[in-house]
Structure 1
Amino acid sequence: MANERLLGALDFLREAERLKSTLRSGFTSTGRSESTAEHTWRLCLMALVFSDEFGDIDPLRLIKLCIVHDLGEALSGDIPAVLQTERFDKSAQERADLKELTRALHPAKQAEILALWEEYEAASSPEAVLAKGLDKLETILQHNQGRNPVDFDYAFNLDYGRKHTSAHPILAEIRVLLDEETRVRAGGSKTR
């Protein structure tokens, strides 16, 4: 029985490896496309670095939420925020993909991962609220740091995820710093 759990976990991990090749719309500081795995890694690092600033939260839960938040993208890929429409239910697609991706796991572990993802999606805990805000901030940080095309729309970042980055005073403080960087990257001409 334990052997089946281990084999299922290894199958899942092999499938999840796809996140290393799932590209996002952002670029690294060297100019190559960023992967979802790289985004998730730095999001988790942000959660670790800022966790002491957030008060009475469970840092491990925060990191777990960050780890699973984009896991479903291993199957259908990332849909950049600028391309998302009301007609396409990104959340439903990601949930279905996550359920498929975790199918080889022991049912209890699959349920745990799905529950963490649902918690993140609904922002139903203090940690999930922080994870959502950090997710938006990591994206903006990467856009500000990346070697982007000359026509990159920095103005989009000035509104991107504002609801989530306003949900905690520390998130809002980081947002102010990143918005200032965004305006500098945009050449100072795009302010809101």
Structure 2
Amino acid sequence: MTHPIDPDRLAGILAFLQGAERLKHTLRSGFTSGGRPESTAEHSWRLALMIALFARDLPGVDLERLLKLALVHDLGEAISGDVPATAQRADDGREARERADMQTLCAPLPEDLRAQMLDLWEEYAAAATPEARLAKGFDKLETILQHAAGANPADFDYAFNLAYGTERTDAHPLLRAIREAADRATRARM
């Protein structure tokens, strides 16, 4: 017979999940095809779905780790929100703020899960593993594809997509192939 979960562990996990729920109403600068602002949760879901669909084209990659990285990469935005890609700068302090937000969000978790979540976030931020580099590339591609599909304002800058994240999407042949299709979709919207 299975032993029930420790009540403190259960409470910590549920508290974390309630905090992560805020991603559902954390809005991004992109728009859905229906014309409403996209949430960070929607972005992360489609990013994970994209990775799952291309899994067979990623031999030798730890798919479970890649999916976890995709699910964790924007969790800190539940606290301070999203910074639009067009407004991001290398020296804007965003990474430090997101790290602090991630630590705050993960605080209720049991120690083993807190360490796992923070380690995944750090791995993604550093892009030091093949899975983290792929996660970053897929992240850029999901954003570009959303921009190409969204019911965007009349003044939307589609040209931004054509240069956005190229260093990340050049990291793997599959990413480059998806990028070519995404760029075609972008040009069709311009």
User: Which band: TM-score by shorter chain?
Assistant: over 0.9
Partner of 2:54, secondary structure, is helix
* CA-atom RMSD in angstroms: 0.9
Partner of 1:26, secondary structure, is strand
Q: How far apart, CA to CA, are the structure 2 residues paired with 1:51 and 1:128?
A: 15
Q: TM-score by structure 2 length?
A: 0.96
Q: 1:68 corresponds to which letter in structure 2?
A: V
Q: Write the deviation string for residues 116-142 of structure 1: whole angstroms up to 9, x where unpaired.
A: 011111111111111000000000000
Displacement after TM superposition at 1:86 (Å): 3.9
| Residue of structure 1 aligned with 2:97, choices 72, 90, 93 | 93
In the alignment, structure 1 residue 159 sits paired with structure 2 residue 160: no
* 1:77 match: 81
Q: How far apart, CA to CA, are the structure 2 residues paired with 1:110 and 1:83?
A: 30
| Residue of structure 2 aligned with 1:108, choices 92, 105, 112 | 112
Q: How far apart, CA to CA, are the structure 1 residues paired with 2:142 and 2:128?
A: 21
Q: 2:165 corresponds to which letter in structure 1?
A: G
| Matched positions, count | 186
Q: 2:150 corresponds to which letter in structure 1?
A: G
Q: TM-score by structure 1 length?
A: 0.95
In the alignment, structure 1 residue 30 sits paired with structure 2 residue 34: yes
Displacement after TM superposition at 1:113 (Å): 0.3
Q: How far apart, CA to CA, are the structure 2 residues paired with 1:84 and 1:167?
A: 21
| Residue of structure 1 aligned with 2:23, choices 15, 19, 22 | 19
In the alignment, structure 1 residue 172 sits paired with structure 2 residue 176: yes
Q: 2:142 corresponds to which letter in structure 1?
A: E
| Residue of structure 2 aligned with 1:59, choices 35, 39, 63 | 63
* 1:126 match: 130
| Residue of structure 2 aligned with 1:138, choices 111, 135, 142 | 142
Displacement after TM superposition at 1:55 (Å): 1.5
**Structure 1 unmatched runs, 5+:** 187-192
**Structure 2 unmatched runs, 5+:** none
Displacement after TM superposition at 1:49 (Å): 0.4
Q: Which runs of 4+ in 1 moved over 6 A?
A: none
Q: 1:167 corresponds to which letter in structure 2?
A: A
Q: How far apart, CA to CA, are the structure 2 residues paired with 1:185 and 1:144?
A: 7
Q: Write the deviation string for residues 144-167 of structure 1: whole angstroms up to 9, x where unpaired.
A: 000000110000000000000000
* 2:187 match: 183
Q: 2:74 corresponds to which letter in structure 1?
A: D
